[in-house]
Chain A
Amino acid sequence: MMISADDLEKSEDELLLDLASQLIASGAIRYSGPLDDKSRRERARRWMAGVLESVKRSICNDPRVISYLHDPSTQSLAEIAGVVVDILSAASISVPVGTLAVLIVKGRIHSLCG
């Protein structure tokens, strides 16, 4: 599983908007009316918080993640994102997990497993 450089270069806000679109397209959420970007990001952020609660143990107990957290130079960001994709794919998550994995590794993995 490879994560593209485009995904890794996106800002947090861009990734959250991507995730919000994926939540709609995959049927995880439907809104009663059009939402602005701020509201879409808010929903993606809250949905992700709930998911992280469920997958925290799987991610943080993975030996590859433990190794990365101990010494980030052992793997690139793309490689560790691929690891997280593998873990998320094994969980019952109802959206494509690529964007979610990037959101986790870019800003959250240390606090999640800290």
Chain B
Amino acid sequence: MSLALLQADYVKFLGEDGLRLVMGDEPATCVGNELDLYARKAGLVNACRYLLSPSFRDCGMLSRDRGSFAPVVTDVMNRSVSAAMAISALPSEGAIALAISPYDGFGAEVMRTEHGFLVLFSPVTFSICFLYAVLAVTSAQATGLLHQGRVPRGPDGAPLIDPFEWAYASHRALRSTVREFLESGTVADPLGKVAEARFDLLPWHYVVRAQATYEQMLDFLALHELGHICLGHMDGMEQVRRAVPSASISYEVASPMPAQEEAADEFALECLVGRGGGEELDALFDLVEKGGERSAEVDRLWTGGTSLGRYMSALQLMKLFDIFSSQQIGMDVGVTFTDACEVNGTHPAGQHRLIRMMASQRVLELPTTRRFNSGPLIQWSNWVNFDAATHTRERVRELYRMSNGLE
């Protein structure tokens, strides 16, 4: 099938108002890229591929090519289709393309058209994923150092911040960012959130890591939708192809929707992490154990360029879904809904998806004698749940001391 025909389907789907929404009103107006400031301070030059801007709607655009997310979409499509084809054959019938949706909420979706499948991302999905990636990487690192009893230090060896204060501030910034996004559909001061989280305290690796995390989150979203296509979830018409009144329709789907979502998550994780990365990880872990944390080889671990980095990005994306679930429903959806595995009849709760993914370490293909320690990630996830809107600094400190047996 021709991509040109699928493109025509896309234009028809958008209509005039959709085209206007997708193309945007005006190009980004900011002159510089604020991420460059952090990179230069950390000793990096020309390292910032993506735009950190005072305007939320511009965050996540390519730094050199501002005005829309189309170039980002092209990159995601190339990476995700290649990753999917390495694991599974794509369906022979119908073309597949990634594109921008005209919707204003968060999310990706896949739509069958006359000539193939469109995988669609809404514009704010890019912006919130980018901002969240920066904040998640910052807060995860702050939490990890706190639990290791380590302190970020300046060149003269002096402590730069109280580790507890850093963990608290970074989590507050992350949580309040997501809350503001859910309530208003935007974030008024992205730069303020990044500054509040103290992204500036991280070494250069994490400027690279945050951008890799952003790309990997987008790739996961695309691969999840490609999973629905590859796993036959878009072929349900055979079961319902009856021209009957809606009141008479009985949908006997072959597989419950939440189970299909779990299958699409598994497909996406396997494709994103890729195959054959176990030996490299094993060797890198050996180096770390021998004290080689600062070597150029081991830098690959910290910058997110390994299968472990991709796995961590997927887990952090699931945590975003968990926060979405809990803030949208106003309760601990993990406890309330995990048994039923559903929030609304179609999707498992975010916490359920996170836990399933944490239990999928097999995708890392580590030797049986080696296990990846997911403890720091669990600690980070637990910290994020201390919502600063309901927990004061003193209360969080108290909870932290209790949970770590420090009383």
Residues of A that sit less than 8 Å from B by CB: 1-4, 6-7, 15, 18-19, 21-22, 24-35, 39, 42-43, 46-47, 49-50, 53-54, 85, 88-89, 92, 94-99, 102
Contact = CB atoms under 8 A, between A and B. Distances in A.
Interface of B: 9, 12-13, 15, 18, 102-103, 105-112, 114, 221, 224-225, 228, 233-237, 239-249, 251, 253, 257, 321, 324, 328, 343-344, 346-347
Per DSSP, are chain A's interface residues mostly helix, strand or loop, or mixed? helix
Contacts of A39: 103, 105
9 contacts: A4-B245, A19-B246, A27-B112, A28-B111, A32-B107, A32-B225, A54-B12, A94-B237, A95-B237
Given A27-B112, A29-B110, A98 B324 contact: no
A54 to B, nearest CB: 8
B84 to A, nearest CB: 15
Contacts of B233: 27, 30
Contacts of A89: 243
Minimum-distance CB pairs A-B, first 4: A27-B236, A27-B234, A99-B246, A98-B245
Contacts of A21: 251
Contacts of A49: 15
Contacts of B221: 32
Contacts of A1: 243
A50 B13 contact: yes
Contact of B13 (A26, A46, A95, A98): A46
Contacts of B247: 4, 6-7
A1 to B, nearest CB: 7
A31 B245 contact: no
Task: Kindly name the residue among A43, A92, A102 whose own CB sees the greatest number of chain B CB atoms within 10 A.
Answer: A43
Contact of A34 (B9, B237, B246, B343): B343
B225 A97 contact: no
Contacts of A18: 246
A82 to B, nearest CB: 10
B240 A25 contact: yes
Contacts of A102: 245-246
Given A27-B236, A32-B225, A7 B105 contact: no
Contact of B253 (A25, A32, A95): A25
A33 B225 contact: no
A98 B247 CA distance: 9
A7 B246 contact: yes
A10 B225 CA distance: 32
Contacts of A22: 240, 246, 249
A42 B233 CA distance: 22
A16 B178 CA distance: 29
A113 B107 CA distance: 35
A96 B15 contact: no
A84 to B, nearest CB: 10
Contacts of B346: 24, 31, 34
Given A4-B245, A33-B107, A96 B112 contact: no
A27 B251 CA distance: 12
Nearest to B221: A32
Nearest to B251: A25
Contacts of B102: 46
A32 B245 contact: no
Given A15-B246, A30-B233, A95-B240, 13 more contacts: A1-B243, A27-B112, A27-B234, A32-B221, A33-B107, A34-B344, A43-B109, A46-B18, A50-B12, A50-B13, A50-B15, A88-B243, A102-B246
B245 A6 contact: yes
